[in-house]
């Protein structure tokens, strides 16, 4: 999979190598990673956190509904799904992850 984003390629490969499940449809065809909270603006680099990554199928499930994925409700769902998946894999948060969690803590706390 060729990555054209600002995620850490090694981290994505390490933590998502065996996950092909698309976060939007649950089919086994993920081939890209959606930036749940966008790529970040200005000096913000915390959006590079792996916690911001949602595996998806680029053409069937990502590009066609990208606008819907950017709603607050869908962002909360995707953030929690990624967090749950990574914690189950025994992922340990780094400094960028901690900044990301702090910035988007309301998304994790709200139902």
Q: Is residue 7 part of a domain?
A: no
**Within-domain flag for 1:** no
Does residue 71 contact residue 89 with C-beta atoms inside 8 Å? no
Structure pTM? 0.88
* Cβ pair 70, 95 in contact under 8 A: no
Count how many domains the chain has.
1
- Residue range 37-41: average pLDDT? 85
pLDDT, residue 1, reads 45
The domain of 73 spans 20-109
Q: Is the pLDDT of residue 89 over 90?
A: yes
Domain membership flag for residue 29: yes
100 in any annotated domain: yes
Mean pLDDT calculated for residue range 31-47: 86
Q: Is residue 3 part of a domain?
A: no
Q: Which residues of 61-89 are buried (b: 16+ CB within 10 A; e: fewer)?
A: bbeeeeeebeeeebbbbbbebbbebbeee
Mean pLDDT, rounded, of the chain: 90
Is 91 contained in some domain?
A: yes
Give CA separation, 1 vs 10, 54, 57, 62, 102, in Å. 12, 15, 12, 15, 30
| Residue 13 belongs to some domain of the structure | no
Whether residue 4 is contained in a domain is answered as no
């Amino acid at each position: 999979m060729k990555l054209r984003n600002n995620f850490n390629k090694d981290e994505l490969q390490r933590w998502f190598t065996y996950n092909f499940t698309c976060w939007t449809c649950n089919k086994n065809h993920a081939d890209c990673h959606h930036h749940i909270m966008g790529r970040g603006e200005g000096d913000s680099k915390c959006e590079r956190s792996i916690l911001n990554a949602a595996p998806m199928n680029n053409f069937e499930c990502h590009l066609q509904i990208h606008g819907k994925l950017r709603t607050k409700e869908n962002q909360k769902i995707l953030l929690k799904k990624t967090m749950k998946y990574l914690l189950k894999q025994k992922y340990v948060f780094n400094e960028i992850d901690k900044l990301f969690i702090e910035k988007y803590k309301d998304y994790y706390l709200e139902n």
